[in-house]
Each structure stands twice: as structure tokens, then as C-alpha cells.
Structure 1
Amino acid sequence: MLTVDFTRFPLAPGDRVLDLGCGAGRHAFECYRRGARVVALDRNTEEIREVAKWFAAMEEAGEVPAGATATAMEGDALALPFPDESFDVVIISEVMEHIPDDKGVLAEMVRVLKPGGRIAVTVPRHFPEKVCWALSDAYHEVEGGHIRIYKATELAARMRGAGLRPYGAHHAHALHSPYWWLKCAFGVDNDKALPVRAYHKLLVWDIMKKPRTTRYAEHFLNPLLGKSFVAYATKPHLPHDAAGPHDAVPGPHDAVPGPHDAAPAADDAAPTAV
């Protein structure tokens, strides 16, 4: 289940991609399938081991094109073990809400991103997340849990403050919001409650079968109930007076905002489609 929409976030074969806080690896796997040179980084040792196993299995099964590479490694998001301007693309999905120094994480991502490179940031959306917090303290008051709720305007301001240029945004996973509300209402660790079990079966069926009915329903519900807020941005090239003669010329993989692209929408209003 992808949160980043790769029709809005172009990825070219050979792009060097950092999936920061990769978790179980869903976005890293998709980038690998698309021919990228992927580094999946997380602080969780067990998850990194599993991601490495899946990378190897994908290669063995012939699921990746020639030239694609993939590495899974442990690391600290506040002290990335890479030189400046190492990556064409950086993805950080459902991570920043866990980290006290989110400005420091953004600074590190910008440091390792090449000028003209692209970044995708996803966080829990303000309204659905507020409902979860209101229903259950246990949902967020746990070690390593969510420590903040972002408004779209706040996230956009942080990204601009880090030197990024936002160019588009949307919401995702509307069908997952009611599931988490049920979890919070019946107990986040109570998987036996009938409404929770029933809704979980629906989500699994939807993920596995991808029926048109639920795809259309989620598409239309995302602006209202989308569980995740997704923001895209580029790292600008240096101005001519501060750079070499070629530094301000966009590269072939640079993301160029289209005529319908917009900055992230205000708090819980629906973003402009891109």
C-alpha cells in the first residue's frame, strides 16, 4: 500500500533514492521495481533485516530491471551517513511525526539531496489524527509514538524553511481513517472487537483485490477523510551569481510543476489536484 503517488512524483530508472525511515520497505520496493538505485534506511534492526531479505528475493525472482540496485542499512535520520548531494530523490513516509527534531531531519534530507532533486514527505493528516488523539491516549502516548500533529500549512512552512520548494500535495488512505477511529474507540491493542476485526478484513480484501468500487470510493473520500497528507517539493538550484555556469540548468530528471500544481492546501481543505 503506497502513500506516495508516483504519477505525481516522477521517478526515472537510475535515480538514486533514499527511503528514510523505510519501515517495512513498501516505497523502497516500488522504487526498486522502477529501476532506481535504492538505499532503505531505518533505525530498527529487525525491519532492516527483513527489507534486505525482500530485496534479495525480488532480485532472485527477476522483479527488477537491469541496473537497479538496493541496499538496506541502519542509520540515524539526524546524522545520515552520506556525503552532500548524494541522492536524486528522498522519501520520508509517516516518520516525522515521531521525531522531536523534525527541523534537523529536514536539514539532513536537504543536505543529501542534489540540487533539482525531489522529496516526498507524508505525515498523518490533521483532522483524522486529532480524532484518534481525542479517542485514545494510548494511541500516541507510547514510546516512539506520535509526538505532534501537523497542519498542512505548518508542514509546508517547515519545508520552505529548510530550503525546499513545495510543488504539490494530496491526501491518501481515506478508508483507513475509520479503521483507526475504531481501534482507538475499542482499544488500540484490542484486535478482537467485532467492528475492528470486520473492518480489518475489509481493508485486507481491498489491498489484495483492489476492486474498482473501493478504489473509486477512496478517490472521492480522500479530500475529506484521507488518513495521510502527502507533500512534494524540489531542492532549487543555486542562483547564477552563487553557482557555476551549469548549476542553474535543470537536469533531465528535475520535477517541473505542471499547470495544476499547487502548494500544500490549508489545514484540512482539499489540496489542489496535481
Structure 2
Amino acid sequence: MSTVLETIDGGTRYLEKRGIDDARRNMQMLVARQLGCTRMDLYLQFDRPLMESDLAPLRENLKKRGEGIPLQHLLGQVFFHRNEFICDSRGLIPRPETEELVEWILRWDLPEKLDVLDVGCGSGVLGLSLAAARPGWQVTLADISEDALSLTRENAAALELANVSTIHSDLFSNIPGTFGGIAANLPYVPETERPTLTTEVMHDPALALFGGPDGLDVIRRFIPDAYRRLKPGGWLVLEIGHDQASQVAGFLEKSGFSRIEVKSDLSGIPRFPLAWRD
């Protein structure tokens, strides 16, 4: 019978041999999930023997992790901006950069009541995080994927948010009205980069990743309509690829936006274009 520490050590070695980054943390998270505790709790249970009823599902998840299935999918959840979100293959695994975007928006001096639209919402982490932090806002979340929207609805229900609604829509095709703010994390990976992506990234929906030959097909189509759907004084903010800032800024200027700026993420990459409609 293996103890908690022996199980963590053995699983860590297994993951390291299969090239999994941060193998020990991964194994600790899998064990903690199986035992229904936190990673920190494990340090007080190193000598605890594990029953076969715990070891069997751990072995199965360990095998899947070694095959490149994302840790977040095996855990079934991810922590993002102060909240737990359900996480599975229906939506993109939330990236730290998107969390930076949420923090940036929430630091702005914005009205207590505001109609906000999240286009390409995926699992809903962007729009739902804004709704949770700003109860006076009405946040609409839209996606072309019904699977993604079902995940968004489950996350909204889990967070008990009453100030959100969802719409199945290809960009603005089914979305009525205008908004005070629009946020979007749209597909921006060039199709040419598909062969270079990791096994883990390829577990994300292709529909949410790839934006045509240069990665900008969806964004190029989205920006002019976004201008028309903003109220005067409204803002648009995007998350884009590492080398797309100048092109996207050009799209924004051509579409009539003013006060265009691009904020860098914590790695110094120009990641978040912001523009206003006068």
C-alpha cells in the first residue's frame, strides 16, 4: 500500500519521463483532487496510506496527463480571477494573459451601470469575471459554439450570477442593440502555426484557436461591426497574438475608432488593443 508521499514521488517520476513541465506540482494537484483537499493539505498527510479505490483513478489520470491531456481538464476546474470555473474541452483553457485583461478593465473608472458584451466567450471566464466583480453591469456573452455556450451557462449558474445572458451568434449576427463596452478574445492563431502547437494546446477547440492564414480573419471581420455596435463613448478591448498589434491598430483606425492604444502583458508583449468610439 502506497503512502501519499510515495504516490506523489512515483507519479512525478512518471510525468518527468514523459516531458511534462512542472511534473511534481501536476502530481500534487491530481492527488489533492482525488483526496478532496488542497495541495497544502497534502503536506500534513504524507504518511497516509492510499486505498486502491483512490489509486486506481489516480493511475488513470496520471496516464492521461502523461499523454498530454491538460491538467485543467483532468481536474475539471480552473481558478481564474478569484473564482473557480468549470474547465473542459468545450472551451479554451483560460490563459494568464486573459486574467490580466480582466484586471486591467476593472481598474478603469467606468460607470456602475453598464451594458457589456463578451464576444467569443468560450468558457465565459472573461465576461463572467466582469459580471461577478461589477454586479451593476449587464453582461451579454456570445459565441458561435453551442458547446462553449453550454459551458458558459454552467459557469454562470455555479457562480449564481443574475446579471448575465448568453446568445448563440457568429460574431454580431444574432446580437441586438448597442453596448457601452465590448471585450473579445477571438481566434488569432495563424493556421500555419498549427503543426508547431503542443499536444496540450491542441486539446482546445480548433474553432477558438485558428484565425485563418495570418490569424486575423475573424478580428478583421469583427472590428468594423464592433464600432457600429458601440454607443458613443463606448470602448472596445481585444486580446491578440504576440506580433499582431500594428495590424490590429490599423484595423481600428480604419474603422473609425479613436484614442487607440495597445497595452503590453506582464511579459512585455503588446497584447491588448483598446479603442474608443467618440
TM, length-normalised to structure 2: 0.50
1:165 match:
258
What's the counterpart of residue 28 of structure 1? 127
Map 1:220-231 to 2 at 5 A. Answer: 222-223=267-268, 226=269, 229-231=271-273
By how many angstroms is 1:9 displaced? 4.3
Map 1:29-108 onto structure 2 (within 5 A): 29-33=128-132, 34-35=134-135, 36-59=137-160, 69-77=163-171, 79-83=173-177, 86-95=178-187, 98=211, 100=217, 102-108=219-225
How far apart are 1:111 and its partner, in Å?
1.3
Instruction: Indicate yes or no: 2:232 matched with 1:115.
Output: yes
Q: CA RMSD in A?
A: 2.2
Find the aligned partners of 2:168 and 2:127 in 1 and give their Cα distance: 14
Cα distance change, pair 229–55 in 1 and its aligned pair in 2 (3 A): same
**Ranges in structure 1 where 5+ consecutive residues have no aligned partner:** 127-149, 173-218, 237-274
CA offsets per residue over residues 228-250 of structure 1, 9 Å max, x none? 610111101xxxxxxxxxxxxxx
Aligned-residue identity in percent: 18
Whether the 8 Å CA contact 1:3–1:122 is kept in 2: the answer is no
Can you list the C-alpha shifts for 1:53-79, whole angstroms capped at 9, x where unaligned? 2112212xxxx5xxx610122101152
- The AA in structure 2 aligned to 1:23 is G
8 Å contact 2:249–2:260 — kept in the other structure? no
Cα drift, residue 105 of structure 1: 1.2
The higher-RCO structure (CA 8 Å, 6+ apart) is 1
Counterpart-to-counterpart distance in 2, 1:8 and 1:230: 14
* TM-score normalised over the length of structure 1: 0.51
Q: Deviations over 1:171-226 (max 9, x none)?
A: 22xxxxxxxxxxxxxxxxxxxxxxxxxxxxxxxxxxxxxxxxxxxxxx4xx22xx3
Count of equivalent residues: 152
User: Could you list the runs of 4 or more consecutive aligned residues of structure 1 that deviate by over 6 angstroms after TM superposition?
Assistant: none
Contact 2:252 2:260 in 1 (8 A): no
Distance in 2 between the 1:23 and 1:230 partners? 18
**Aligned equivalents of 1:79, 1:96: Cα separation in 2:** 20
Cα shift at 1:7: 4.8
Larger radius of gyration: 2
Q: Distance in 2 between the 1:101 and 1:7 partners?
A: 26
